[in-house]
Amino acid sequence: MLNISNNKLHKKIDLRAFKSGHHIFGKEYYKAFNKFLISAAIIGIIALFLPWTQNISGKGIVTTLTPEQRPQSIQSQIPGRIEQWFVKEGDYVKKGDTILRISEVKSDYFDSKLVERTNEQINAKSSSVNSYNLKIKALNRQIIALKEEQKLKLEQTKNKLLQSSLKVKSDSINFEASKINLKIAKKQFIRIKTLQEEGLKAVKDVEEKRLKLQETEVKLISSENKLLTSKNELINSKVEISRIKQSYTDKISKAESNMFTALSSKYDVEAQVSKLENSNSNYKIRNKLLYITAPQNGYINKAIKGGIGGTFKEGEDLVGIMPAKYDLAVETFVRPIDLPLLHINEKVRVQFDGWPAIVFSGWPNVSYGTYGAKVVAIESFISDNGKYRVLLAPDKTDHKWPEAIRVGSGAKTIALLEDVPIWFELWRQINSFPPNYYQPKEMKVTKSDLKKK
């Protein structure tokens, strides 16, 4: 029965002669099964040549097309304490509507009249600035007056110097004349004395000439004395000029020093005024921050920091808001090996979670429940999950996306690539080769275009 022996029984005995053998070997059920196998093989071979659309599949979530349309958390720029809520979860708010009121927790800002007191300090410091301005103007006038007085004094002393110089010249001329007169008187005296010795002149004449000689000598000494006095006055005039310059230089320098001190004090007070004005502006803005307002129209999703009296730090999330108007999109993630195959405006099919769909990734035309999309952005840096992020927008030429879809729901994506036979796709999958690298039709360059270039 098992055909183990080399002696084949059916070769020596006709088993069909027996009733059981005729019953078993007379049936033809295996012929139908063979026909089924042959038909299936033929159909399978034909199917291998059917077209198959290569694709890149991925998983993602529903998001919005632009960043300002995405859900966001509202934070406070300052630490505070929750005092009052003006909304509840699910409420619709407009831009600028007050969501909650907070109070200060820092002792530096407890004073309710902080802005008014700061304004008073600013006014006081501004008055000091005005006083310094008046002092600076007075010192400027004093400096101008000292310079004018110095100028007049110098002119007066220079005139006196000129007079002294002229007097020195005059006395010098008189001194020289006195010298000449003395010489003449000496000659006349010697001549008279000689004539008297010869008996030609009387003694009286000699005495007169002697007296005249002595008078001439006195005049010479007087002229010399006047000359020395004039020179001394000339020197005194020069010294007076130097003294006036030094004196007024000291006075002007002292006045300028006082003016520069006033300027320095003025600038210091102006800096304090500017600092106080800056603090005043910050206090006003800080007072406005005590009311948390909606940044845009939307719905309150969740009160992250609930209750009354709870404190929080600056930058801590307080409440979540979802914009009222948004354009849906899908962010999906693809493997790095598939990234070069994607291009902007690439056609993609999207299946949303919760929406029944029958998907044939290789035959998108017969898929049911998927929606059209196109690639609008491709991230150039890898994400934390080791894949690249791709942003998809609705394809306006395809069916409209369901209105009930919400941001954050899941989605599956299929990027459609090149059409190839099924046998090629099976061969590629078995060998783990990437899909064929290609470019969309609008990006391809034909040979005729190259020839034209």
pLDDT for 124 equals 92
The CATH number of 54-69+326-452 is 2.40.30.170
Can you give the three-state secondary structure of 159-177, one letter per residue? Answer: HHHHHHHHHHHHHHHHHHH
**Tens place of pLDDT per residue across the chain (453 aa):** 556 666 666 666 666 677 776 666 666 656 677 788 888 989 988 888 888 777 778 888 999 988 888 889 999 999 999 999 999 998 999 999 999 999 999 888 888 888 899 999 999 999 999 999 999 999 999 999 998 988 888 888 888 888 888 888 888 888 888 888 888 888 887 887 887 777 767 777 777 777 887 888 888 888 888 888 888 888 888 888 888 888 888 989 999 999 999 999 999 999 999 999 999 999 899 898 999 999 999 999 889 888 898 899 998 999 999 998 888 999 999 888 778 778 888 888 888 887 775 555 555 555 556 888 999 999 888 888 888 999 999 988 888 888 888 888 888 888 777 777 888 878 877 876 666 655 555 444 444 444 444
Q: Which two tokens stand for residue 379?
A: 């991230």
- Report the C-alpha gap between 74 and 52 in whole angstroms: 49
pLDDT value for 53: 73
Closest CA to 227 of 169, 281, 289: 169
213 sits in which H/E element: helix 203-288
- Sequence letter at residue 405: I
Nearest to 139 by CA among 254, 264, 232: 254
pLDDT at 452: 42
pLDDT confidence of residue 275: 92
CB 402 within 8 A of CB 357: no
Domain ranges, ordered by start, for the chain: 1-48, 54-69+326-452, 72-104+290-323, 114-288
232-237-241-242 Cα dihedral, nearest 10 degrees: 0
Q: Starting from the edge strand earliest in sequence, which strands make up the sheet with 72-75, in order?
A: 72-75, 317-323, 298-303, 92-93
Give the CATH fold of the 72-104+290-323 domain: OB fold (Dihydrolipoamide Acetyltransferase, E2P) (2.40.50)
Positive or negative CA dihedral for 24, 25, 29, 34?
A: positive
Residue 213 token pair:
């000689």
Give me the pLDDT at residue 205, please: 75
| φ, ψ of residue 210 in degrees (nearest 5) | -65, -40
Q: What's the CATH class of domain 114-288?
A: mainly alpha
Place of tokens 């044939």: 360
